[in-house]
Amino acid sequence: MSLCQHADEQGKKVFWGLEGLYVNETEICYIDNDSGKIYYRGYDLEELVKYASFEEVAYLLLYGKLPNARELEEFSRQLRARRFIDSSVIDLLKMLPADAYPIDVLRLSIDYYCTRKKFINTGSLKDNYELAIDLISKLPVVLAYFYRISKGLDVVLPREEFDHPANFYYMMMGREPDPVEYEAVKTIFIIYADHSLANSTFTAITVASTLSDLGSAIIAALSSLKGPLHGGANREVVNMILEIGDEENVEKFVKEKIERKERIMGFGHRVYKSSSRGDPRVPILKEVARKLAEKKGGKYLKVFKIAERLENEVTSRLGSKGVRPNVDLYAGVLLYLLDIPPDYNPAIFAISRIVGWVAHVLEYWKHNRLIRPLERYVGPIGLKYVPLSERE
C-alpha cells in the first residue's frame, strides 16, 4: 500500500470549513468588523431596525434599493394578498404529528408546494420573484396554522390591516401584539433577514449553482439552518437557559461546560471571533429583550437575567478566544419572551432568512458558476482487490 502522491495534490492548503475564503462577490450584506456594523445593501442594520418596516427591508434585500411609497404599497399589497393557503396544505398539516419540528413542517410545505406547481428553473426572474413573494408571505401562515392545529386550537385567519410581522404574531397567538411585542417581532424579522454567506445561504447558492430551481435551493437552505451550530442554536439557547433555571447556577454551568470542552449555545461566531466588538446584532436584540422582559416581569425577567449573567460569565472566561454572545442568545430569549415554544425558534429564523436566501440566489445567478471545490485525497492507493471469500 502507498499513500496518494499525485503531484497536483501536493502542498495544497485545505481550508477546513472554507474558513477565511472568499467564494463570491456580493452587494447584499457587508459585515464591517472594524466599526462593528452590518450593512444591508449599504444601509446600517441598526438604522433599518429603528426606522424601517420589515416590508421595506425585504424589498431592499430582494430588489437592491429602498422602495418608494408606490413600490412599497404594491409590495406590501402582494404580500398581504398571498397570505391564504390552499386547503390541501391545511389537510397536510393536520396529518403531521403534533410534536413535529416546525422547521421540518416548513420544508415539507415548500416541497409540497413546489412539487404541485412542478416548479423548475425557467431562468425567468419574474417566475422566481413570484415564487419568492409567495413563499415569504405564506411560510409564516403555515407556521401559525401548524402551531394552532398541533395545539388543538382554531386557526386564525390573516388580517388585511396587519403588516407582515404583526400578522404572523396575530395568527399564531390569536391576539394583536402590543407595541413592545410588535417591536420585538419586527426586530427579529429584520435582524434574521440576512447575514452574508452563512452556511444556509452558501448551501442555497451551492444548490442554485447547478441551475436547480429556487424552491430546491430554499429547501436545502432550510435543512442547513436546522443544525444547532447555525439556526438551530436559538432553540438550544432557550432549552439551556431553562435547564440552568436560576442566575445562581450560571457560574457552575459555564465552568463545567468549559471543563467538558462542550460548546455553549448562543456563543461564538466564525465571522466575529477575531473582532473585539463581537456580533453587532447582540446589543440591538438585547435592548429590545430587556424592554420586553422588564415589562412582563416574573419568569420572563428571570430568563433575561440568566442570559445576561451567561453573557458576562462566558465572555469573561472565553472572550480572549473570541467567544462572545452571538445573535441567537438574545433572539432565543426574545422568542421566549414572546411565548414562542423553543421548537419554533429555528423556523422563525427561516421565515425571515428566506428573504436573504432568495436575494443571494438571484444575485449569484447573474454570474453563475458551478460550485465544485476540491478535496485533498489522503487515503491509500493501489490496494489489491481481495475476493470476498478470502477476506478476514
Chain residues that interact with ligand CMC, rule: CB under 6 A? 17, 195, 198, 229-231, 233, 263-270, 273, 318, 321, 323, 326-328
The residue among 321 and 384 lying less far from ligand CMC, judged by its C-beta, is 321
Place of cell 424592554: 291
33 to each of 36, 194, 275, how far by Cα in Å? 5, 16, 6
Taking the complex as a whole, the smallest distance from the CB of residue 231 to ligand CMC amounts, in Å, to 5
Taking the complex as a whole, the smallest distance from the CB of residue 335 to ligand CMC amounts, in Å, to 14
Q: Is 2 exposed, middle or buried (0-12, 13-18, 19+ CB in 10 A)?
A: exposed
CA-angle at 82, arms to 78 and 85, nearest 5°: 175
Looking at residue 101, its amino acid is: Y
Taking the complex as a whole, the smallest distance from the CB of residue 273 to ligand CMC amounts, in Å, to 6
Taking the complex as a whole, the smallest distance from the CB of residue 277 to ligand CMC amounts, in Å, to 15
The residue among 80 and 324 lying less far from ligand CMC, judged by its C-beta, is 324
The residue among 262 and 375 lying less far from ligand CMC, judged by its C-beta, is 262
Comparing CA positions, the residue from 62, 126, 139, 67 lying closest to residue 359 is 62
Taking the complex as a whole, the smallest distance from the CB of residue 385 to ligand CMC amounts, in Å, to 39
Spatial separation of the C-alpha atoms in residues 186 and 191, rounded to whole Å: 8
| Nearby residues of 345 by Cβ (< 8 Å), 6 or more positions away | 234, 235, 237, 238, 331, 332, 335
The residue among 55 and 279 lying less far from ligand CMC, judged by its C-beta, is 279
Count of Cβ atoms closer than 10 Å to residue 46 Cβ: 17
By the 8 A CB rule, do 294 and 301 touch? yes
Comparing CA positions, the residue from 277, 274, 250 lying closest to residue 264 is 250
The residue among 133 and 225 lying less far from ligand CMC, judged by its C-beta, is 225
Report the catalytic residues.
269, 328
What beta strand segments (E) does the chain contain? 2-3, 29-32, 37-40, 43-44, 380-381
Spatial separation of the C-alpha atoms in residues 267 and 325, rounded to whole Å: 4
Q: What is the DSSP letter of 267?
A: B
The residue among 162 and 189 lying less far from ligand CMC, judged by its C-beta, is 189
Element (DSSP H or E) covering residue 381: strand 380-381
SS3 letters across 24-43: CCCCCEEEECCCCEEEECCE
By the 8 A CB rule, do 324 and 272 touch? yes
The residue among 222 and 327 lying less far from ligand CMC, judged by its C-beta, is 327
Let me know how long the chain is.
392
Taking the complex as a whole, the smallest distance from the CB of residue 108 to ligand CMC amounts, in Å, to 22
Q: Which residue has its beta carbon closest to ligand CMC?
A: 268
The helix-helix angle for 125-150 and 87-95 (nearest 10°) equals: 50
Taking the complex as a whole, the smallest distance from the CB of residue 266 to ligand CMC amounts, in Å, to 5
